[in-house]
Structure 1
C-alpha cells in the first residue's frame, strides 16, 4: 500500500517534478467540480445542461444565457487558493516543482504564487474580442454588464477559455507534453483522467514514478485517496 511516507521519499529523491491537476485541486477552495457527486453537471440551468452551455455553439447562439451562467459559477471574487495551491507554489520556489499543468481556469495557482503554470483550458482572467480577436481587459466590463459584454466598438467579449467544440491551443499543449516528458516524478491530482485530450498527455511521461491523488478510488499502484491539499501539505518541502 502506497503511503504519505512513500510520496515523501519520491519527492526527496526526484529532480524534475511536474504536477498535473484537475477540478479536484480547487474544490477545497469552494469551487464545484464538474463530474463529482455534487458537481456542476448534476445541475441544470434554465433547462440547459451545463455541458451544452459550456460549448462554442451555445456561446454564440445564446450569449446572454451563457454569461448569466458563467458569471454565477466561474466569477466568485471570494475564492482563494487552498493548501494545495500554496504547497505547490512553495515547492516551486524551492526548485522541486518545475511546472504545474492544470485543467482549471480559475487562476488560483498564480494567485498562490506559482510561476510556471500551463493552463490547458485557458483562464477566466483573460478575454478577447470576437471579431477583432484582440486581447482585452474584459473582466471589469463583464462584472458591470447585465447582458452581453461588448467593447466600445460593440464587439462581443469572449472568455479565453476552451469551450466544448473548440480545440486546445497547440502551443500550450506542446509545452505541457514537453514538461511531462522531462519529468522524473509526475503527480496527478484531483482529476478522473476522463477529460480528453488532456488526459491522453500522460502517455508522454517517460520517468520512473507516477503518483495519483484523488478523493475517489482510482486504479493506480502509487495512489493516495483524500483531499489534494490535505495530502500535499503533509509533504515536507
Structure 2
C-alpha cells in the first residue's frame, strides 16, 4: 500500500479531522510563501528594511507610508487569488462531516472562498479592516480604495488598519482558544504547508493527543519524525488525490 493509499484510508476511518495550515497551502494560488526558496523573505529590494521588519507593529507605527505601500501589494495579490485544490479538498471534507475545522496561519481568506465555514484565522485576514479611531469596518476593496498611500477613515480621519496580526502583536485570545479546542478534540491532524517555525501558532499542534498525525510540506520540518505519514510535496496535489478523487469515485 502506498503512502497516498494509507492517507485515503486514514481519512476514511477518521471523523474528527482538523487541518493546520500555513503559507504553503496557498502557493498553488500564486501567493508566495515566506521562507521557501522563492519566498517573500528572500526577495531583494532597494529599501533599507527587510520584508519581515516591514510587516511589524513598530514599522506600522513609525513608517506608515512605507508600511501601506508594501502591505497594499500583498493585499491586492491575495484579494485577486483563487482557491486551489487544497482549499477545495478541505471544504469537501467539512461538507462530508469529517473535518471539524481549519486552523490557518494564512490571511488570504481562500478557505472561505472555497466554501469552508469553520476557519480559525490565527493571524487575521486581509478581508477585514477597521478604523483605529472610530472602529468602523471596511472590506478589502474599500480598504484598497482608501490607500493613497495611507488609508484614512472618511468619517473620522483615523488610520484604517488591516485586521491582521503583525510581528510584535499578540494573537486573538478567542481564536487561539478555538484552535486549541479543535486540535485537542481531533482524532486526526493534518499539517500542511508550514515550516512550523512561527510561534506561538506552531506550538498549537502539541495539543493534539491522537496517533493519526500527517505532514504535507515541500521541505522537512522538525515534526516529521513524529508523524504517521510525511509527504514532501504540494499540499494541493496530495489532498487533491486523497480527497477529491475519492469523492469523484464515490459519485461515479
User: Deviation string for 1:38-82 (max 9, x for gaps)?
Assistant: 100012442210111000110111111111111112322431000
**For residue 199 of structure 1, what is the aligned residue in structure 2?**
202
**Aligned partner of residue 50 in structure 1, secondary structure:** coil
**For residue 4 of structure 2, what is the aligned residue in structure 1?**
4
How big is the shift at 1:135? 4.1
Query: Taking structure 1 as reference, are residues 203 and 135 closer, same or farther at Cα in structure 2, changes over 3 Å only?
Result: farther
**Aligned partner of residue 31 in structure 2, secondary structure:** coil
Q: Is the 8 A contact 1:181 1:205 kept in 2?
A: yes
Q: Is the 8 A contact 1:2 1:223 kept in 2?
A: no
Q: Is the 8 A contact 2:28 2:84 kept in 1?
A: yes
**For residue 49 of structure 1, what is the aligned residue in structure 2?**
50
Cα RMSD of the aligned pairs, angstroms, is 1.5
**For residue 179 of structure 1, what is the aligned residue in structure 2?**
182
Q: Is the 8 A contact 2:129 2:143 kept in 1?
A: no
How big is the shift at 1:146? 2.0
**Aligned partner of residue 19 in structure 2, secondary structure:** strand
Query: Taking structure 1 as reference, are residues 2 and 206 closer, same or farther at Cα in structure 2, changes over 3 Å only?
Result: farther
Instruction: Verify: 1:228 aligned to 2:235, yes or no.
Output: yes
User: Counterparts of 2:215 and 2:2 in 1: how far apart (Å)?
Assistant: 10
TM-score by length of structure 2 reads: 0.90
Query: Taking structure 1 as reference, are residues 98 and 138 closer, same or farther at Cα in structure 2, changes over 3 Å only?
Result: closer
**For residue 96 of structure 1, what is the aligned residue in structure 2?**
98
**Aligned partner of residue 52 in structure 2, secondary structure:** helix
Q: Is the 8 A contact 1:128 1:157 kept in 2?
A: yes
Identify which of 111, 118, 121 aligns with 1:116: 118
In the comparison of the two structures, how many residue pairs are matched?
Answer: 236
For 1:35-184, what aligned pairs fall within 5 Å after superposition? Answer: 35-45=35-45, 46-76=47-77, 77-132=79-134, 134-144=135-145, 145-152=147-154, 153-184=156-187
**Aligned partner of residue 128 in structure 2, secondary structure:** strand
User: Counterparts of 2:217 and 2:234 in 1: how far apart (Å)?
Assistant: 6
User: Counterparts of 2:125 and 2:15 in 1: how far apart (Å)?
Assistant: 29
User: Deviation string for 1:106-128 (max 9, x for gaps)?
Assistant: 00000000000000000000011
Query: Taking structure 1 as reference, are residues 184 and 61 closer, same or farther at Cα in structure 2, changes over 3 Å only?
Result: same
TM-score by length of structure 1 reads: 0.95
Query: Taking structure 1 as reference, are residues 2 and 225 closer, same or farther at Cα in structure 2, changes over 3 Å only?
Result: farther
Query: Taking structure 1 as reference, are residues 141 and 64 closer, same or farther at Cα in structure 2, changes over 3 Å only?
Result: farther
**For residue 15 of structure 1, what is the aligned residue in structure 2?**
15
Query: Taking structure 1 as reference, are residues 2 and 188 closer, same or farther at Cα in structure 2, changes over 3 Å only?
Result: farther
Structure with the higher helix share, 1 or 2: 2
Query: Taking structure 1 as reference, are residues 85 and 216 closer, same or farther at Cα in structure 2, changes over 3 Å only?
Result: same
